[in-house]
Structure 1
Amino acid sequence: MLPDLDKRPLIFLDVDGTLIPFKARPGSRTACPSDSGNPLLDRLDSNDGRRLLELDCQLVWATTWMAEANEVVSPRLGLPDLPVVEWPDSDDTRTDGLHWKTALLAQWADGRPFVWLDDETTERDRRWVADCYPGPALLPRIEPTVGLTETDFSAIHQWLSGSNLPGG
């Protein structure tokens, strides 16, 4: 029996500060040399793609790179084309301390369990999701100078295997 892929938890992926750290990671190597003129792409770690795929979740780009993430980042990480959260063109800025992505991602997730990997999440975002979102969610803050780490992946694995998820 095949798993119902539409029921898997979502993982919303940011790029800058999450997959591309603000400082180069020692030993990180991309599968493709940077030919786009963006030297920061050399900071991608191709192992992140493999580790993300091993999570058996639906990966979704939640980045201002939008569709360009599929063209530029996915091939370097060995990821297939992923769904992309389309951000509104509005210049509305929240004044309540909530990150501008938070409510939009909760709406996109539509009650499904989700992990949001971003370097800009705060305690305010975690509280809002805990109070307002009907499903389980994990919002770790990724340290932007180092990007995703083994500790982050361990925390995600632990959360995914927890009893707070359907079937857990």
Structure 2
Amino acid sequence: MKPLLLLDVDGVLNPMGRPTPDFRRYRCTIDGELYTVHLNPRHGRRLLDLALATGAELVWATTWEHHANDWIAPRIGLPSLPVIPMTPDFPRSPPSEYGELFKTPHVAAYAGRRPFVWFDDQVWAEDEEYLRVHQGLDDFLLVHVDPAHGLTSRHLGMAQEWLTVPKD
């Protein structure tokens, strides 16, 4: 089973803090709303290299859903990627039962039994517990990304190590 590399946008590829000079500013309009995003064009190549080196498949795990393929992917050099569908009535989703992020059940349903690494700024111990205890999954790595800084080499290294080091 090919492992998955799951990508969030806001807080991961689009940091919330002051971007460093290697980020570019873009304005995009989605459903009549204007958004400003800061993206690092090198992230796409680095993510593609990680996927190639580990045999993993890149997938969007973001509330941007298919808009990520329109607005984010071309600006960082990614092809169109599969998208994990999120609840259609976000942000009016029912509250979590165990304290997990509203996206976590969608990620679990999409991943099934495939191993995955999930880059997100909102994944915590509750998400790990939900996936392990309530979904019975055990072959995943949650990579919490500091939303002020976004995705870094350290995060990519963690994913590469997890995906390539044999598990006991």
Is 1:55 the counterpart of 2:44? The answer is: no
Give the C-alpha shift of residue 135 in structure 1.
4.6
Letter in 2 for 1:68: H
- Partner residue, 1:29: 23
Q: CA RMSD in A?
A: 2.0
C-alpha offsets along residues 67-87 of structure 1, whole Å, 9 cap, x if unaligned?
A: 110000000110000011111
Runs of 5+ in structure 1 lacking a partner?
Answer: 1-6
- Equivalent in 6, 10, 16 of residue 16 of structure 1: 10
Give the whole-Å Cα distance in 2 for the aligned partners of 1:123 and 1:66: 24
- Partner residue, 1:152: 155
Letter in 1 for 2:46: R
- TM-score (normalised: structure 2): 0.84
- TM-score (normalised: structure 1): 0.84
Give the whole-Å Cα distance in 2 for the aligned partners of 1:162 and 1:105: 23
Give the C-alpha shift of residue 95 in structure 1.
3.8
Letter in 1 for 2:151: L
Letter in 2 for 1:86: P
- Equivalent in 78, 103, 119 of residue 101 of structure 1: 103
Give the whole-Å Cα distance in 1 for the aligned partners of 2:142 and 2:4: 12
| Cα contact 1:60–1:82 (8 A) shared by 2 | yes
| Cα contact 1:23–1:146 (8 A) shared by 2 | yes
- Equivalent in 126, 130, 143 of residue 124 of structure 1: 126
Instruction: Rate the CA distance shift 1:29–1:112 in 2: closer, same or farther, 3 A.
Output: same
Give the whole-Å Cα distance in 2 for the aligned partners of 1:26 and 1:115: 25
Give the C-alpha shift of residue 142 in structure 1.
0.6
- Equivalent in 40, 52, 56 of residue 45 of structure 1: 40
Instruction: Rate the CA distance shift 1:34–1:89 in 2: closer, same or farther, 3 A.
Output: closer
Identity of aligned residues (%): 35
Give the whole-Å Cα distance in 2 for the aligned partners of 1:100 and 1:26: 30
Instruction: Rate the CA distance shift 1:68–1:59 in 2: closer, same or farther, 3 A.
Output: same
Aligned residues: 156
| Cα contact 1:8–1:58 (8 A) shared by 2 | yes
Give the C-alpha shift of residue 35 in structure 1.
5.1
Give the whole-Å Cα distance in 2 for the aligned partners of 1:104 and 1:139: 15
Runs of 5+ in structure 2 lacking a partner?
Answer: none
